[in-house]
Amino acid sequence: MTTIDEVLGIEEDDVSMFICVEGLDDAAIGTCLVDGDEVVAYDFSKVLEICSRWRGWDAVETICWIDSIQEEFSLNTSPIFINVDPTLAPSLSAGRGKFN
């Protein structure tokens, strides 16, 4: 498997700089590129679970908190929150048909 570091030519000794949200380590699912910068990606449903347990927040309160995090940092350094949907790929494929 090719990593983002390999594609960008980052050596093992190079320090990667991410913005990580304290308390959300269990929700981290990887990293992605935003305008050429690597950012942390979190599983949105796991973030909801953690915030519910940790703070007693509901979904609306958690979304407001996520919005404040994203407003605090520039777009290309802010972590992203992904709605993991295992039904998406089959739905897209079914709608387009198979590639030849």
Domain locations in the chain?
4-96
| pTM of full prediction above 0.85 | no
Q: Are 50 and 62 in contact (CB under 8 A)?
A: no
pLDDT digit string (tens) for 21-74?
Answer: 889 999 999 988 888 888 899 999 999 999 999 999 999 999 999 999 888 877
**DSSP-assigned letter for residue 100:** -
> How far apart (Å, rounded) are the C-alpha atoms in residues 26 and 13?
25
Count Cβ neighbours within 10 Å for each residue of 58-93 and write b for 16 or more, e otherwise: eeeebbeebeeeeeeeeeebbbebbeeeeeeeeeee
What pLDDT sits at residue 73?
78
Angle between helices 59-72 and 44-55 (to 10 degrees): 110
